Amino acid sequence: MPDNVRQVVIIGSGPAGLTAAVYTARANLSPLVLEGEPSSTSDQPGGQLMLTTEVENYPGFPEGIMGPDLMTRMREQAARFGAELHQLKVAKVDLSSRPFGVWIGDADASEPTYRAEALIIATGAQSLLLNLPRENQLIGHGVSTCATCDGFFFRDQDIAVVGGGDSAIEEATFLTRFARTVTIIHRRDELRASRIMQDRAFNNDKIRFRWNATVTELIGEASLEGVVVTDTKTAETSRLDVTGLFVAIGHKPSTSLFEGQLPMDAVGYLETVPGTAKTVVEGVFACGDVQDSTYRQAITAAGSGCQAALDAERFLEAAHDRAVTTD
Amino acid sequence: MGANVNHLSDTTFDETVAGSSEPVLVDFWAEWCGPCKMIAPILDEMADEHAGKLAIAKVNVDENPDIARRFQVMSIPTLILFKDGEPAKRLVGARGKGQLVSEIEEFLS
């Protein structure tokens, strides 16, 4: 086998990718994990948990554990059993024939950087932005996608969080450590977050709510000075003076690499055979948030990473058996 | 590792940055910032690879809030490249090594 042909290549290094790495490494498949590159969004080595603080619902940690610490431990566990991990971002894949091609860096290079007998896709999901004018320009100047990174800079200020799910409420609660007030702007009249998170928010004096509201304009030149909030029922607009805006309106699956090569739903989630991690392409498996629009938890991602590893292992054994009998 | 990276404080910042003959890339960071930890090894590597052409320094924003405030750092990691003591380029957010090097390449001649 040429050097660059690997039995298993795993793209992504969140709970799904790293669990798949632990299992395939223990099955002596010497997995190569392409972890992604550093960034300040969830699209980075370690995935979404790298941007969280306390994780209280991952079994086995009764006192809770910090998200980045949990991911560091998973990475160490995979490395301990021989997984090879690289902080590299995949530029292109070719799933039309096996071994599958995986390109790093130059997507136009004639030869792929690696080839994979089995490919496990665990690219996860990335945070959605509001898509407002000057939003990108104001990131780092009041607009933020990472409360743990930036909350510190908003001591005694009035800030807002957009969103109503678990991550929005967790961020808002975390931000009350620093801010004077935190306004949660949510487009519905009730939260989607779990009950325990909701109770925490409702009982927090620093948190207030703007229901049935969306942010429609960002005010401020060099840095954020306020936002325009539009009522979703009456279309009435009003100004909210905030120096910080934390965006937590959900995620979209990171599947642009696979467009035209793997079936996905309208939003972009990869489709797998129910009850398995198999995609329609034999030898390509998907696990974690990239194929899960329902649960999207660290523990379900880890569980599906295990499924992908076992499915890949069985696939490689069967492929090996076929090769032996035809020889 | 990281032997070429200088840790600056509120008191040593000005003399180090203004007194440097080569451009200084200052990393504003904190212990509690996940993305900051991800780029730390990249900056260590860059400090070694570009020794003599680029100085790399770090400011812990927890311990040195004054400098962070003076340069209006509101998000970390923020990297500010100082040339002749003045801020010449500002990069907000973590990124991979290739992208980071290409964004400051013009200052490396």
Q: How far apart are CA A171 and CA A146, in angstroms?
A: 9
Q: Residue A51's pLDDT is what?
A: 85
Length of chain B: 109
Contacts of B78 in chain A (CB under 8 A): 140
Which among A38, A105, A244 is the nearest to B42, CB-wise? A38
Nearest to A139 by CA among B63, B94, B92: B92
Model pLDDT for residues B10-48, shown as the tens digit of each residue = 899 999 999 999 999 999 999 888 899 889 999 999 999
Q: Residue A8's pLDDT is what?
A: 98
A224 conformational bin, left if phi > 0, alpha if psi -120 to 50, beta if neither: beta
Question: What interface predicted TM-score (ipTM) does this complex get?
Answer: 0.79
Structure tokens at A320: 């090996």
Encoded amino acid at A74, one letter: M
For residues A200-224, average pLDDT: 96
Task: Confirm if A232 and A219 have CB atoms less than 8 A apart.
Answer: no
Which residues numbered 32-91 in A keep a CB inside 8 Å of some CB on B? 37-41, 44-46, 50-51, 67-68, 87, 89
Model pLDDT for residues A8-38, shown as the tens digit of each residue = 999 999 999 999 999 999 999 999 999 999 9
Q: Residue B2's pLDDT is what?
A: 65
Q: How far apart are CA A137 and CA A139, in angstroms?
A: 6
Helices (H), A186-249: 195-202
Structure tokens at B73: 């750092």
Catalytic residue among A149, A189, A199, A241: A149
Its sign, for the CA torsion A3, A101, A252, A132, is positive
Residue A9, classed as helix, strand or coil, is strand
Task: Confirm if A223 and A244 have CB atoms less than 8 A apart.
Answer: no
Q: Is A306 a catalytic residue?
A: no
Query: Is the predicted pLDDT of residue A281 greater than 90, yes or no?
Result: yes
CA distances from residue A165 to A7, A17, A188 in whole angstroms, order as listed: 39, 24, 11
Q: How far apart are CA A162 and CA A246, in angstroms?
A: 6
Does this model's pTM top 0.90? My answer is no
Nearest to B65 by CA among B28, B19, B37: B28
Q: Is B36 a catalytic residue?
A: yes
Task: Confirm if A143 and A226 have CB atoms less than 8 A apart.
Answer: no
User: Residue A144: closest CA among chain B residues belongs to which residue?
Assistant: B75
Pairing of strands A244-247, A143-144: parallel
Model pLDDT for residues A105-116, shown as the tens digit of each residue = 999 999 999 999
Structure tokens at A276: 């398995």
